[in-house]
Amino acid sequence: MSADSAVDVVIIGGGPAGLTLAHELATTHDLSVVVYDREQQAGGIPRHSKHLGYGVRDLHLIFSGPAYAERLVNRAVKAGVVVHTGSSVTQVTSVEGTHEIRGVDGNGTFHMTATAVVLATGVRERPRTARVIPGSRVQGVYTTGELQQSVFIHHQSIGQRAVVLGAEHVSYSAVMTLAHAGVKTAALITPWRKHQTWRIAHLFARLRYRFTVKTNAYITDIIGSDRVTAVEVTYRNGQKELVACDVVVCSGDWIADHELAMRMGVEMSKESTGPAVDTAARTSRAGVFAIGNLVHPAIPADAVALNARAIADGVAHYVGYGKWGTGIDVAVSDPFSYVWPQRVVPNEMPANNRFILWAQDFARASQVVVRQGDRELARATVKPDGVIPARHLWIDGTWVTQVDPAGPRITISLLPSY
């Protein structure tokens, strides 16, 4: 594509969110769409997540990660979407309703203009340095994403015995990847009082892979000269133990891939670490939308895809009419840490009629209450597992029809359970 080309929509990030939205915009709305992805192959995280389990809710089939990624790319390209790989977008500027997208690819720099821009740059796990884990700077320390790339893309030898920091869904995915690479997982280490995955997944993994879960525990030292040889684990009660290992995987603890959004000056949600968005995925900047795990870390790929598909009408409407709404803020209180979306446009349903909540602590099964000022808008019962940190919770969003456009902000809280 030559410099100075113009299209209806540019999507930055060719993962499940970006590719699904691109396909929907090209097929249902007949818009011209360009997707940029900085990797040599589009498809996002699923490209290197080789286990089965992708695509159930969006494509109604069970795929491995790479097969799912390939299907999404092929489907978008067949629909007329132009997918540029090896192309990193470095800046988006906006002048009078037109956005200029600039970046770097194998040929140097590129430049494109678009009526609407969609940020779909995803999420990543905080590496060891960002978690401030003390100890030697040694080889053998990965995030789950890095581990999966090393195993499934670069076919590297990983080691023999691992500890995984974290006990949430993705930590169990790390255990499977380690097993695939011939590495025994010795332990999952979590600061929480119990694991955060489904009970059945936990039981199955414990039986199959024979690891222990060390709860109320922290890694307080990574020991080794060139390569990790052990970690020091410190429990909340002060007790310490050494666990021998030559691999450490830092799993979960997500941070949005938000550098581009920040550089653009889009208003951010401090809690989610991604752009703050309203019910139609609009950011604070007219014509710029944000979707996928960039704004709701980190939910399954098929749910991401469905949420992305659901905002296509809003993007197409903006391209056609240029209208930009302003919403009413939604705030949460303990144990919730944040909600997606963070703003409500009255009578405009969020994607798939749902709000997503994240919590910073466990809480027993109870009821979630939505209020606008003193007025109660809705109540939802939390599932039997209760509220679990790092595990998202869906609540029905039909209450947006009762929001008073002139009213105060909306609050979401949990009733105490007795």
Ligand X SMILES: Cc1cc2nc3c(=O)[nH]c(=O)nc-3n(C[C@H](O)[C@H](O)[C@H](O)COP(=O)(O)OP(=O)(O)OC[C@H]3O[C@@H](n4cnc5c(N)ncnc54)[C@H](O)[C@@H]3O)c2cc1C
Q: Is 177 helix (H, G, I), strand (E, B) or coil?
A: helix
Give residues 291-330 in contact with ligand X (rule: CB under 6 A). Answer: 292-293, 298-302, 304
Tokens found for residue 309? 């598909």
3-state secondary structure of 93: strand
The number of residues making up the chain comes to: 418
CA 304 to CA 18: how far, in whole Å?
A: 10
Is the Cβ of residue 122 or residue 397 nearer to ligand X in the bound state? 122
Query: Rule CB under 6 A: is residue 173 a binding residue for ligand X?
Result: yes
- Using CB under 6 A as the binding rule, whether residue 248 contacts ligand X is answered as no
The set of residues, in sequence order, having a beta carbon less than 8 Å from that of 118 and lying 6+ positions away, is 9, 10, 11, 12, 18, 21, 281, 288, 289, 290, 291, 315
Interface size with ligand X, residues (CB under 6 A): 38
**One symbol per residue from 60 to 99: x for binding ligand X (CB under 6 A), - otherwise; what is it?**
----------------------------xx----------
Residues 6 or more apart in contact with residue 68 via CB below 8 angstroms: 16, 43, 46, 54, 55, 59, 301
| Cα gap 261→283, rounded to integer Å | 10
Please say which residue, 170 or 306, places its beta carbon nearer to ligand X.
170
Applying CB under 6 A, does 14 fall inside the site for ligand X? yes
Q: Which of 334, 332, 313, 327 is nearest to 400 (CA)?
A: 327
Q: To the nearest whole angstrom, how small is the minimum distance from the Cβ of residue 20 to ligand X? A: 8
Segment near ligand X (CB under 6 A), from 43-51, 128-136, 282-290, 349-357? 43-51
Q: Does 341 participate in binding ligand X (rule CB under 6 A)?
A: no
Q: Does 289 bind ligand X (CB under 6 A)?
A: no
Does 407 engage in binding with ligand X (CB under 6 A)? no
Neighbours of 129 (CB within 10 A): 10
Out of 12, 25, 357, 400, which residue is the one contacting ligand X (CB under 6 A)?
12
Phi, psi of 286 (to 5 degrees): -55, 130
**166 secondary structure, DSSP code:** -
Binding to ligand X by residue 8, rule CB under 6 A? no
Complex with ligand X: residue 197 or 279, whichever CB lies closer: 197
CB of 308: closest distance to ligand X in angstroms?
A: 7
- Whose Cβ is closer to ligand X: residue 335's or residue 341's? 341
Q: Directed axis angle between helix 169-180 and helix 199-209, to 10°?
A: 20
The least distance separating ligand X from the CB of residue 176, rounded to whole angstroms, comes to 9
* Residue 144 interacts with ligand X (CB under 6 A): yes or no: yes
Task: Give yes or no for residue 148 binding ligand X (CB under 6 A).
Answer: yes
Q: Look at the block and give the residue holding tokens 């992305």.
A: 308
Cα gap 144→125, rounded to integer Å: 8
Residue 85 or 411 with smaller CB distance to ligand X:
85
Q: Report the DSSP pairing between strands 328-332 and 410-414.
A: parallel
Task: Provide the Cα torsion 240, 387, 145, 216; round to 10°.
Answer: 0
Instruction: List the one residue from 66, 122, 135, 287 that touches ligand X (CB under 6 A).
Output: 122
Q: Which lies closer to ligand X via its Cβ, residue 371 or residue 392?
A: 392
Task: Supply the minimum distance, in Å, between the C-beta of residue 171 and ligand X.
Answer: 9
- Based on CB atoms, which residue is closest to ligand X, 260 or 388? 260
| Smallest gap from residue 289 Cβ to ligand X (A) | 13
- Residues of this chain that interact with ligand X (CB under 6 A) are 12-18, 36-39, 44-46, 49, 51, 53-54, 88-89, 120-122, 144-145, 148, 170, 173, 257, 260, 292-293, 298-302, 304
